[in-house]
Amino acid sequence: MSFPVHSFAAEKRRRAMTDANRMGIDDSLIDLIVDNFYGRVKQDPRLSPIFDGVIGERWDTHLPKMKAFWGAIVFSDGRFKGSPVKTHQGLVGVTPDDFQIWLTLFRETLEDLAPTPEAKVFLTTRAERIAESLKLAMFCRAPKLSEETRQTA
């Protein structure tokens, strides 16, 4: 007796594609949202110097990377290869409040460009969750025990 070979990853991708279609999200919309969002970031007095300091002239590689990141989230197809936690842990001078600014710009972008309410909720919720986990990784590291504390603990 033979069983059909099911690929979990393929099924996940198929479902993601169905959901994306239902929400009205495709690759060209992701391109539009990412371009528009980082256009806002570049105009923000607080975030713009942070991004400029790190990215400088490399926007032509950062934007395709961010399109791949959001594409991977929407389509579950693993097209993004990166380490966001490590990358953000390496940023200097970013505060938790900066994430509020980031999320406000992201919400405003979706307010203007989301094709359906479902797309707006989906993308906003993902961004909020990822922002929370990045903040945890960046700002909530357990303090190192001193040598003395380690010996008496």
Distance set, CA 85 to CA 28, 34, 47, 138 (Å): 27, 19, 18, 8
72 binds ligand HEM (CB under 6 A): no
84 binds ligand HEM (CB under 6 A): yes
DSSP letters spanning 28-75: HHHHHHHHHHHHHHHH-TTHHHHHHHHHTTTHHHHHHHHHHHHHHHHH
Question: CB-wise, 63 or 145, nearer to ligand HEM?
Answer: 63
Question: CB-wise, 10 or 136, nearer to ligand HEM?
Answer: 136
By CB under 6 A, what part of segment 86-145 binds ligand HEM? 87-88, 91, 94, 98-99, 102, 127, 130-131, 134
In angstroms, give the least distance from the CB of 81 to ligand HEM: 8
Helix (H, G, I), strand (E, B) or coil at 85: helix
20 binds ligand HEM (CB under 6 A): no
Write phi, then psi, for 19 (nearest 5 degrees).
Answer: -65, -45
Residue nearest to ligand HEM (CB): 82
DSSP letters spanning 98-142: HHHHHHHHHHHHHHHH-SSHHHHHHHHHHHHHHHHHHHHHHH-PP
In angstroms, give the least distance from the CB of 86 to ligand HEM: 7
Q: Which residues bind ligand HEM (CB under 6 A)?
A: 47, 50-51, 54-55, 62, 65, 69, 82-84, 87-88, 91, 94, 98-99, 102, 127, 130-131, 134
